[in-house]
């Protein structure tokens, strides 16, 4: 019997996406203490809010769970994740919650090379009560099935209007107890942070094979390039969320009292990462907003992950230069550059 490729799913190609189409991603997933332990065991995360008795799940555990659920539909044939817009962690997630993710295609743009297109995906993660816990739009490059036939989205691309940042008024309120030094070890509070300031995090972490592959599989992310040495000529690509998690865990050092990310304005996986890379990071304070009537303020921060170079030894390290089109051409040592919002308690009066 001759065999065709049959029932095994090879993923959607650019031609398969339909504007406005909503889909439930499979499978739903319960997360809890084991995912927290593996997150800690992979990243060395030490944030008190996410390892205590309350069972509060780390915002990046929620992020990876949601993005992992979308891979089968969106990104099996994706050479690159291009950006994120208006990512908001709307509600806390606790151990035992079951996360279900839905996606809606809100933009399609074929690229001029005829080989790929960009797909804009509104992504919504909900808990078992249907409450939205995380929402964002991301855009990804997706390969075309047929390089010789243009789609309507070459001539008539549909590009959604995407907010360049989450407004302060849109940030969710602090959830749960405010951070205090006794539990966090942190000496600094909202009043201590100043725009323009750089915080160096000092902890380098070298990536090993199992480190990144296990973490990526944990989120049921099934993109082949992360796992198959033959397909990748011996260099499996590290999932972009991995150095993000490492750098974010490192960035607790100097920001011990933070809430944990409540929103992300934008984010770039600036350069690829492979096993053997040592990841360092620093944070720049971009904005500090006093929230009157609240016991905390909001900090807009740029988290920068750097490969094989400790920015604490190069304090004025330049992440890149403007490419003339309002975007940054990143230094090849920049792994990631994430523009995020944290809430930060004020000093107890």
What residues between 178 and 207 interact with a second copy by CB under 8 A? 181-188, 192, 196-206
**Piece of the chain touching a second copy by CB under 8 A; list 84-92, 151-159, 168-176, 254-262:** 254-262
| Out of 171, 255, 268, 288, the residue judged to bind a second copy by CB under 8 A | 255
In terms of Cβ atoms closer than 10 Å to its own Cβ (0-12, 13-18, 19+), residue 348 is: exposed
From 17, 25, 266, 270, residue interacting with a second copy (rule: CB under 8 A): 25
Please select the residue that binds a second copy; options are 8, 20, 130, 324, rule is CB under 8 A.
Answer: 8
**Residue 143 touches a second copy, criterion: CB under 8 A:** no
Q: Note whether 9 binds a second copy by CB under 8 A.
A: yes
* By CB under 8 A, residue 325 contacts a second copy: no
Is residue 137 within 8 Å of residue 263, measured between CB atoms? no
| Nearer to a second copy (CB atom), residue 155 or residue 318 | 318
- Structure-token pair, residue 210: 């199992």
CA contacts within 13 A on the Cβ side of 336: 28
DSSP for 109-175, please give it: EE-TTSSEEEEEEEEEEE-TTS-EEEEEEEEEEEE-S-TTS--HHHHS-B-----SS--GGGSPPP-
Contact pattern for a second copy over residues 221 through 240, marking x by CB under 8 A: xx-x--xxxxx----x----
Of 18, 21, 34, 176, the one binding a second copy (CB under 8 A) is 34
Instruction: Establish if 33 lies at the interface with a second copy (CB under 8 A).
Output: yes
What's the closest the beta carbon of residue 152 comes to a second copy, in angstroms? 26
Long-range contacts, stretch 223-231, CB < 8 angstroms, 24+ apart: 223/71, 223/75, 223/76, 223/78, 224/76
Alpha carbons 65 and 77: distance in angstroms, whole number: 19
Does 81 engage in binding with a second copy (CB under 8 A)? no
* Tokens 């997933």 -> residue: 29
Burial class (CB in 10 A: 0-12, 13-18, 19+), 195: exposed
* Least Cβ distance, residue 229 to a second copy (angstroms): 4
Rounded Cα–Cα distance for residues 287 and 166 (Å):
13
- Cβ nearer to a second copy, comparing 148 with 316: 316
Q: Does the protein bind a second copy through residue 342 (CB under 8 A)?
A: no
The answer to whether residue 142 forms part of the interface with a second copy (CB under 8 A) is no
Q: Does 300 bind a second copy (CB under 8 A)?
A: no
* Residue 291 Cβ vs a second copy, minimum distance, rounded to whole Å: 21
């Amino acid at each position: 019997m001759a065999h065709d490729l049959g029932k095994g799913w090879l993923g959607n190609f650019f031609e398969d996406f339909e504007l406005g189409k909503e889909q439930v991603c499979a499978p739903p997933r319960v997360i809890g203490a084991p995912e927290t332990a593996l997150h800690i065991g992979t990243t060395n995360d030490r944030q008190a809010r996410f390892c205590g008795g309350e069972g509060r799940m780390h915002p990046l555990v929620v992020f990876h769970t949601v993005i992992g659920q979308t891979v089968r539909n969106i990104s099996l044939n994706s050479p690159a994740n291009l950006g994120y817009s208006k990512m908001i962690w709307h509600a806390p997630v606790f151990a035992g919650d079951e996360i279900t993710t839905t996606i809606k295609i809100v933009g399609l743009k074929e690229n001029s090379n005829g080989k790929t297109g960009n797909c804009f995906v509104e992504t919504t993660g909900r808990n078992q009560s249907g409450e939205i816990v995380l929402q964002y739009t991301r855009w990804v490059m997706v390969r075309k099935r047929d390089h010789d036939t243009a789609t309507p989205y070459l001539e008539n691309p549909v590009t959604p209007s995407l907010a360049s940042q989450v407004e302060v008024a849109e940030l969710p309120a602090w959830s749960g107890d405010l951070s205090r030094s006794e539990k966090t070890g942190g000496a600094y509070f909202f009043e201590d942070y100043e725009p323009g300031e750089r915080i160096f995090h000092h902890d380098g972490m070298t990536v090993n094979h199992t480190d990144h592959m296990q973490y990526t599989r944990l989120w049921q992310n099934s993109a082949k390039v992360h796992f198959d040495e033959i397909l990748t000529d011996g260099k499996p690509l590290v999932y972009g969320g991995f150095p993000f998690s490492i750098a974010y865990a490192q960035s607790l050092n100097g920001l011990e009292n933070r809430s944990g990310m409540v929103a992300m304005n934008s984010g770039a996986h600036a350069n690829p990462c492979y096993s053997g890379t040592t990841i360092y990071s620093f944070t720049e304070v971009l904005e500090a907003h006093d929230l009157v009537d609240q016991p905390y303020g909001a900090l807009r921060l740029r988290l920068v992950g750097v490969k094989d170079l400790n920015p604490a030894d190069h304090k004025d390290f330049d992440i890149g230069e403007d490419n003339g089109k309002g975007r940054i051409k990143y230094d090849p040592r920049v792994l990631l550059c994430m523009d995020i919002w944290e809430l930060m308690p004020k000093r107890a009066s």
